[in-house]
Amino acid sequence: MRRKVKRVLDEDTFETYHKVNGSNFIRIAGKDGRELHESGGKVARDRLKRQIQNKTVTLKPVGRSYGRTVAIVRHKRKLLRWYEQ
């Protein structure tokens, strides 16, 4: 399914305009990203923002975590990538 990203919250979580499996909040499957208060957290969030905010992504839901839908996420047919520091 395809959804437009409303806002990026941190390195592995974003909000969509329309719900996916009962939630507008999506956690990207595959890695536990840095939180905003952690070292490099804001930089990591900003990178993801530039990549997907206000853009349409393709989602394949694989589960739930803390009220969020966990999904494999693709943008322009490519899996999202993380930036290690």
Domains along the chain with CATH numbers = 2-79 (2.40.50.90)
pLDDT at position 81 is: 61
Return the ∠ at Cα 27 (arms to 45 and 3), rounded to 5°: 90
The residues, any chain, with a CB within 8 Å of residue 62's CB and separated by 6 or more, are 29, 70, 71, 72
C-alpha distance from residue 47 to each of 29, 65, 84 (Å): 17, 23, 11
Residue bearing tokens 């905003």: 36
For the chain, 85 residues long, give each residue's pLDDT as a single digit of tens. 999 999 999 989 999 999 999 999 999 998 778 888 889 989 999 999 999 999 999 999 999 999 999 999 999 888 876 544 3
Q: Which of 23, 22, 28 is nearest to 8 (CA)?
A: 28
Q: For the purposes of burial, counting CB atoms within 10 Å of the CB of 37, is it exposed (0-12), middle (13-18) or buried (19 or more)?
A: exposed
Question: The pTM is what?
Answer: 0.89
pLDDT at position 20 is: 96
